[in-house]
Amino acid sequence: MTPLSHARQIVDTMLGYLGFTVTIDELEGPEGPTLQIHTEDSQLLIGRRGATMEDIQYLVNRILQRHVPQAPRIRVDIEYFRSMREDKMVEQAREMGERVRATGQAQMLDPMNSYYRRLIHNVFVNDPQVQSVSVEEGDARFKRIQLKRRG
């Protein structure tokens, strides 16, 4: 059994015990192995701003690592919520980058977890003029989009 199939079985069992009826697709893509969950109760499984979906992903990966230590990290997406959110965040970051280029003024993005901060960082990794910098304020971690320093 592949790690992705094992993760699928974990999700199916976990959500079944919670009373959800789901269909799960196993996908291999550039982001890595992904479980795409389809259900009529998607809002309950996604949660506020994707928090419940993130929790499901965390639990699935913890359980999977216990059974298959060499398994890659599995992404969990529900009704393409994560994919659409990532596309929206990348587009927002690019628009901010253009504003920074035009005005020279740094722009701040909302607080986000390490996965999304890395996603934003990768938007600007090869940009010769604009960069992203992680900024911490208490427990919150933000991304600041700013011009690169010359020199």
Domains of the chain, residue spans = 3-79, 86-147
Tally the C-alpha atoms within 13 A of residue 42's C-alpha that lie toward its C-beta: 14
- Residue 106 · residue 149 · CB < 8 Å: no
What are the structure tokens assigned to 38, written together?
């389809």
Q: How confident is the model at residue 67 (pLDDT cuts 50, 70, 90)?
A: very high
- The answer to whether the predicted template modeling score (pTM) of the entire model surpasses 0.85 is no
The dihedral of CA 42, 119, 56, 27: what is its sign?
positive
The C-alpha atoms of residue 39 and residue 135 are separated, in whole angstroms, by 37
CA-based angle 62:64:69, to the nearest 5? 95
Mean pLDDT of 76-90: 95
Structure token pair of residue 50 = 């994707």
| CATH code, residues 86-147 | 3.30.1370.50
Exposed, middle or buried by CB within 10 Å (0-12, 13-18, 19+), for 63?
middle
Do 3-79 and 86-147 come out as alike in CATH topology?
no
148 has pLDDT over 90: no
| CATH number corresponding to 3-79 | 3.30.300.20
Residue 151: the pLDDT is 59
Average pLDDT over residues 120-146: 89
